[in-house]
Amino acid sequence: MLGVVFTTLIEMLEENVSPEFADEVITEAELDNDGAYTSVGYYPFSEMQKILSVLVAKTGKPPEELLHGFGYYLFGRLAQSHGQVMSGSKNLLDALSVLDNDIHVQVRKLYPDADLPTFTVISRTENTMVLEYYSVRELAPLAEGLMDGAAEYFGQKINRVTTKSDKPHTYEFLITVE
Ligand code: HEM
């Protein structure tokens, strides 16, 4: 998992809770590098899982809620630093329809080591989309937070329903723009 994901998570904890809280989390998670991440580095996904379990223990919130909140925050940060990646899209469904063939392709050029998921558009009308998400890391709640962040970025309100597919590591999002 890319360093930018770790540095953004630590930044979110510092900003939304406090620098002391972020330090406590890093210490309690007993991370291999004591939390010294660089944005262009690459670190095992298990380190992210360690941070998440410490956050669950400290906040009492379910991991899904924490991942969703982080996805929302992460989208804002990515859009700020790499806004050009989104420049071809006018609204959320347009952005989601080019996620695999454009947005994440551009991300791969910026970060060749990125571990990216697969998104497949199953169906689309003007205001609805069924989007399939596949990742061995099964970060569906993170994807939901990213989608909600993207909806906010485009000034749109959405409804979402997530279903686990029969296929391994696969989820389906039904997204409706209000
Ligand atoms: C609505 C839009 C987006 C969605 C739903 C989305 C979804 C995701 C998800 C779910 C992951 C986690 C990896 C996994 O599931 O295995 C991911 C990773 C990532 N995405 Fe996106 N993404 C979106 C837009 C963007 C944009 C605009 C950027 C950058 C400009 C971006 C850059 C990245 C990066 C850097 C990673 C980390 C890869 C790694 O850890 O190695 N994404 N994305």
Q: Please report the atom of ligand 1 found closest to the CA of residue 140.
A: 10
Read off φ and ψ for residue 170, nearest 5 degrees.
-125, 140
Predicted pLDDT of residue 68: 98
Q: How far is the CA of 124 from the centre of ligand 1 (A)?
A: 21
**Three-state secondary structure call for residue 65:** helix
Predicted pLDDT of residue 40: 87
21 vs 11: CA distance, rounded Å: 11
DSSP secondary-structure letter at 102? I
Structure tokens at 170: 């696969």
Identity at 111, one-letter amino acid code: Y
Structure tokens at 49: 């899982």
Q: Please report the atom of ligand 1 found closest to the CA of residue 86.
A: 27
Predicted pLDDT of residue 83: 87
Q: How far is the CA of 68 from the centre of ligand 1 (A)?
A: 13
Q: CA of 126: how far to CAs of 99, 120, 139, 158, in Å?
A: 17, 17, 27, 13
82 vs 145: CA distance, rounded Å: 18
Q: What H or E segment, with its residue span, contains residue 122? A: strand 118-124
Q: How far is the CA of 170 from the centre of ligand 1 (A)?
A: 16
Structure tokens at 85: 């990646």
Name which residue sits closest to atom 22 of ligand 1, judged by CA. Answer: 146
As averages over each run of 10 residues, the pLDDT of the chain (178 residues) reads 96 97 97 91 96 98 98 96 90 96 93 94 97 98 98 97 98 97
Ligand 1-lining residues (CB < 6 angstroms): 1-2, 4-5, 78-79, 82, 85-86, 95-96, 99, 103-104, 107, 111, 114-117, 135, 137, 139, 142-143, 146-147, 150
